[in-house]
Amino acid sequence: SLCKSLLNESYASICAQNMSKYESGPYTGEVSAEQLKDFDIKLVILGHSERRKMFNESDEDVAEK
């Protein structure tokens, strides 16, 4: 894709801001590790302050992901 080819020539990367703890299934709004892998996304930010504050994610929740 165009984005991927442009990023290959830079130090920037595309990453996800969250990842579901579920491998698959009908979890609207969630993105599984397999889906991220399909798009060659190698980085995910887990446990960031917005998720902890707005969704009450705990250390245990993050560890499950």
AA letter at 56:
N
Q: Report the pLDDT value the prediction gives residue 8, as an integer from 0 to 100.
A: 72
**Tokens at 7, concatenated:** 């990023």
**Residue 35 φ/ψ, nearest 5 degrees:** -65, -40
> pLDDT of 8-65, one tens digit each?
767 778 899 999 999 888 888 899 999 999 988 999 999 999 999 999 999 999 999 9
Q: Report the pLDDT value the prediction gives residue 31, as an integer from 0 to 100.
A: 93
Q: Report the pLDDT value the prediction gives residue 26, as an integer from 0 to 100.
A: 84
Q: Report the pLDDT value the prediction gives residue 34, as an integer from 0 to 100.
A: 92
Whether the pTM exceeds 0.75: the reply is no
**Tokens at 50, concatenated:** 């917005």
In the numeric block, the tokens 């984005």 are attached to 3
